[in-house]
Amino acid sequence: MTCPFCTLPPERIVQENENAIWIYDGFPVSLGHSLIIPKRHVGSFFEVSTEERMAMLALLDQAKAAVEEQHHPDAYNIGINDGAAAGQTVSHLHLHLIPRYSGDVGDARGGVRWVIPDKADYWSGR
């Protein structure tokens, strides 16, 4: 099966550096939802080199600055689904920058903790 991130058309790439690319998510959950992807086909964040990691973080900063300027979000979620049990559906590492806007969900408390809903709410004493 062909990797969708290894075969991206050049017009999808917003920015790039020697080791990584930034694109807007093809199925965004919010305005400005971006993906930072290493150029080398690698499945896990724990398999990238220090140089690749630094390249990804540099593009994350650039993507955040651009999204901030264009869309003025109130906050961000930053995440990686690392492995099938964590919800990874494309086996090429990608980091999500998800802009958040006040009121986009009823109660945003807990953020990424909600990947396991039964254990997410630690504050209400349920």
* Catalytic residue IDs: 94
DSSP 66-103: HHHHHH--SEEEEE---SGGGT--SSS--EEEEEE-TT
How do 95-100 and 13-16 pair as beta strands? unpaired
Task: Say how many C-beta atoms besides its own lie within 10 A of residue 108's C-beta.
Answer: 15
